[in-house]
Amino acid sequence: MSKYDKEIKKLNPIQFFVTQQNGTEKPYDNEYNKEFRDGIYVDVVSKEVLFSSKDKFDAHCGWPSFINPINKDNIKTNMDISHGMIRTEVRSKEGNSHLGHVFDDGPNGNLRYCINSASLIFIPKEEMIDKGYKDYLYLFEESK
Q: Is 52 in a helix, a strand, or coil?
A: strand
**For residue 44, what are the contacts with CB-CB under 8 A and spacing of at least 6?**
7, 11, 15, 19, 97, 118, 119, 120, 121
Cα separation, 139 vs 54, whole angstroms: 8
CA 70 and chain centroid, separation = 10
* Nearest Cα residue to 65 out of 123, 106, 26, 104: 106
Cα separation, 41 vs 56, whole angstroms: 10
- Indicate if 61 belongs to the active site: no
Out of 40, 75, 114, 121, pick the active-site residue.
114
* Nearest Cα residue to 27 out of 74, 63, 75, 76: 63
Which residues are catalytically annotated? Answer: 114
